[in-house]
Structure 1
Amino acid sequence: MSSTELPWARAAAEVTGAHGAAVVPGEELRTVALPGLALAVRTRPPVREGLPPALYVHGLGGSSANWSALMRELTGHLDAEAVDLPGFGFSPPPDDGDYSISGHARAVIRLLEASRRGPVHLFGNSLGGAVVTRVAAVRPDLVRTLTLVSPALPERRPQLSAVPTGLLAVPGAAALFSRVTRDWTAERRTREVLTLCYGDPARVDADGFRAAVAEYERRLGLPYFWDVMTRSARGVVDAYTLGGQHSLWRQAERVLAPTLLVYGGRDRLVSFRMARRASSAFRDSRLLALPEAGHVAMMEYPEAVARAFRELLHETTADAGRS
């Protein structure tokens, strides 16, 4: 899955633009243009020169904005960027229409190669967790540490609350859901998403809720919204069925980077019981268990996730110094 042999891999052009986005104060949004691919990248300028680089990758239906709180917590420790995967956030669909885990991983690899920022501290949530696991397995040269928040790694018995999301992969399911919910207001849609993703939706304040509603309305207006959701969900399901060397669990075992695993006790999409298997699969792992968190712990408890990452950063920096 490496793209190092491709002659255009480093031929990137950066275009700064507002995108019509409501960017969090202190953040900037720009587009990185690659052949057949354009990726919106969110940045929070580092507080000083020389900080280690980081890249954040969101989950299904999310965007780079999912990492804003954690980026703010770690602004004194990392030179951070967060990417909108192809078709999500402010990134348009890719020319090849590939929304598989491998397709998204290739997009991340191409971004890292074009920016020449690697190796980076790589973060992933949910779908993004599966994506960066694959990146770390096939391109260890690009990854300094790996932080996975509720990664979408295969489960034999998914929770019942996760089944509707998986059903998006079934042909026609998205169109049916769109018809069934056509009378739902953006406020109701947003509440449903928050209930699914947060351990306690009440942690979202009024301003945050209004911003989420506005973003949901914008994305529902995109002509490719449901197609991207359907194909990306199908990509997750397909990845769950792969065996052999392409199995996500087999690739997790190949990851060399020190890994921080974050699991929420109230996660309705990724079972908390998967924490034990993940801890065994990743050879150099440490676990942060947050009993009250849901699927997006970096949004609900950014201080706790940041504290655990700072410990990982201190540990790996000290190890590098001894070496």
Structure 2
Amino acid sequence: MDLISGLQEVTRRMLVARGVRSEVVNLGGQPLHHYELKGRGKGPTVLLVHGLGGTANGFARIFFGLAKRFERVLAVDLPGHGFSPEYCLGPTCVRGQYELLVEYCQKVVGGPSFVVGNSLGGALSAQLATEHPELVRALGLVAPAGADVGHELIREVLESMDVRTAEQSRALTRRLFHKPPMLMMLFADAVRGIYATPAVRALSADALAKGEYLKPEELKRLTMPVLFVWGGSEKLLPHQSLDFFRSSLPAHARLRVVEQFGHIPHVERPDELVSELVQFADASGL
């Protein structure tokens, strides 16, 4: 077992010891791992969707804060990520992941939820809201991908995630955080394997080949409460993404640019992100 796999397993065991259920469900022959934590609040179920190369473990530090406000917290490992086995539908890789997310919402979540997605998970969550609004009680987009900012800018982002050397690993780590923890920098080279998996490479290739982005006219039609959170220290996605969402989301959307948030605030500043999500839920009557 390599270092990253070992840390993933340690995190899983710690969560289970604190009352989080770790389970593998089977959807159309594809095993998917997910976490479930019963909450003490009256808000709807929260579904957390990670980004490219991420895992459900990445949300570990916000599970318990959210459980105080919401009735249930779920986090799923997308195919080929975390504890979910590899899976890809060849040239329709991204769409295949999305369709499994839809099926997960229909069969496991079992009703409309507060869907919160980060990065690629944000793009998938936004697509879910446009195509299946009956599954989305509210939408939270945290540094979402999916903006139509031009092929070359997207290529640069994906190339920065194609890490093959220790220096490239450290450079990517710096881009993910407002201020990278020293421990993360010391072990940055260990993340190379995360971004070299078949799923990550297939998703990246598919995104570059197809160039499919979220459509402003569809986003404008969203009627559920929408929260958009962008980091003042966002370094991975191009700043043009912020302009895209500002002009494309419906007028009722709550847009927040938060200082000292990087690309993955659920890892770096979990308490502050929980506060943003809870304030939004309160203001939206969730």
* 1:89 alignment partner in structure 2: 82
Q: TM-score, normalised by structure 1?
A: 0.73
Note the C-alpha offset of 1:164.
4.4
Q: CA separation in 1, counterparts of 2:40 and 2:152?
A: 42
Q: CA separation in 1, counterparts of 2:185 and 2:23?
A: 25
Q: CA separation in 2, counterparts of 1:72 and 1:238?
A: 39
Partner SS state of residue 284, structure 2: helix
- The one of 253, 273, 277 equivalent to 1:285 is 253
1:141 aligns with 2:134: yes
* 2:114 alignment partner in structure 1: 121
Q: How many correspondences in the alignment?
A: 274
* 1:75 alignment partner in structure 2: 67
1:316 aligns with 2:284: yes
Counterparts in 2 of 1:311 and 1:290: CA distance versus 1, 3 Å: same
Counterparts in 2 of 1:289 and 1:117: CA distance versus 1, 3 Å: same
Report the RMSD for the aligned CA atoms in angstroms.
3.2
Q: CA separation in 2, counterparts of 1:47 and 1:195?
A: 36
Note the C-alpha offset of 1:256.
2.2
**1:156-211 deviation per Cα after TM superposition (whole angstroms, max 9, x unaligned):** 35897x75442389xxxx6xx64xx3xx4xxx77644421210110xx364x7789
1:259 aligns with 2:259: no
- The one of 219, 222, 235 equivalent to 2:206 is 235
Q: Which amino acid aligns with 2:145?
A: A
Q: Which amino acid aligns with 1:147?
A: G
Q: TM-score, normalised by structure 2?
A: 0.81
1:108 aligns with 2:96: no
Note the C-alpha offset of 1:93.
1.7
How do 1:156-235 and structure 2 match up within 5 A? 156=149, 163-167=155-159, 178=164, 181=165, 184=166, 191-201=170-180, 204=181, 206=183, 216=191, 219=194, 225-235=196-206
Note the C-alpha offset of 1:55.
0.7
Structure index of larger Rg: 1
Note the C-alpha offset of 1:38.
1.2
Q: CA separation in 2, counterparts of 1:241 and 1:45?
A: 36
Q: Which amino acid aligns with 2:204?
A: A
How do 1:298-313 and structure 2 match up within 5 A? 298-313=266-281
Q: Percent identity?
A: 24
Q: Which amino acid aligns with 2:29?
A: G
Note the C-alpha offset of 1:33.
0.9
Partner SS state of residue 30, structure 1: strand
Runs (5+) with no aligned partner, structure 1: 1-19, 319-323
Partner SS state of residue 39, structure 1: strand
Note the C-alpha offset of 1:37.
1.2
Q: CA separation in 2, counterparts of 1:102 and 1:147?
A: 20
**1:251-287 deviation per Cα after TM superposition (whole angstroms, max 9, x unaligned):** 3223222111011122122234433431331213111
1:42 aligns with 2:42: no
Asked if the contact 1:64/1:84 (under 8 Å) is kept, the reply is yes
Pick which of 124-133 and 277-286 moved more: 277-286
Counterparts in 2 of 1:32 and 1:168: CA distance versus 1, 3 Å: farther
Q: Which amino acid aligns with 1:260?
A: L
Counterparts in 2 of 1:158 and 1:262: CA distance versus 1, 3 Å: farther
Asked if the contact 1:63/1:84 (under 8 Å) is kept, the reply is yes
**1:112-150 deviation per Cα after TM superposition (whole angstroms, max 9, x unaligned):** 111253200001111111111111100000001100111
1:30 aligns with 2:23: yes
Note the C-alpha offset of 1:66.
1.6
Asked if the contact 1:137/1:256 (under 8 Å) is kept, the reply is no
